[in-house]
Amino acid sequence: MNTSRLVGQTVEVKLASVDTSFSAVVLGVESAGLWIHKGDALEKITASVGGAPLEGRKEPAVFLPFGKISWLLTETKESVYQKAR
């Protein structure tokens, strides 16, 4: 899968260790995973796994290794679908 097209898109992500999925904006892609805008995602992750809130952290992003992602949904634009036909 070509993940570079995800940069700048909002995705729905489900992590193996988190009970619910969450929406996040992809900020960057590496061979090992995705950088997402932390926003509410970090709070949902820490709350679900029983961790302490990470207050005071200034980083705008969190790294999600591909091995921890159960599934990921993106919105497919109609123009991309038409090009594939």
- Residue 43 has a pLDDT of 72
Q: Taking residues 10-23, what's their average pLDDT?
A: 88
pTM over 0.85: no
Nearest-angstrom CA–CA distance, 38 and 61 = 5
Query: CATH assignment of 3-84?
Result: 2.30.30.100
Burial 13-33, CB ≥16 within 10 A → b, else e:
bebeebeebbebbbbebeeeb
Residue position matching structure tokens 């207050």: 55
Q: Is the pLDDT of residue 9 over 80?
A: yes
Give domain limits for the chain.
3-84
Query: How many CB atoms sit inside 10 A of residue 38's CB?
Result: 19
Helix (H, G, I), strand (E, B) or coil at 2: coil
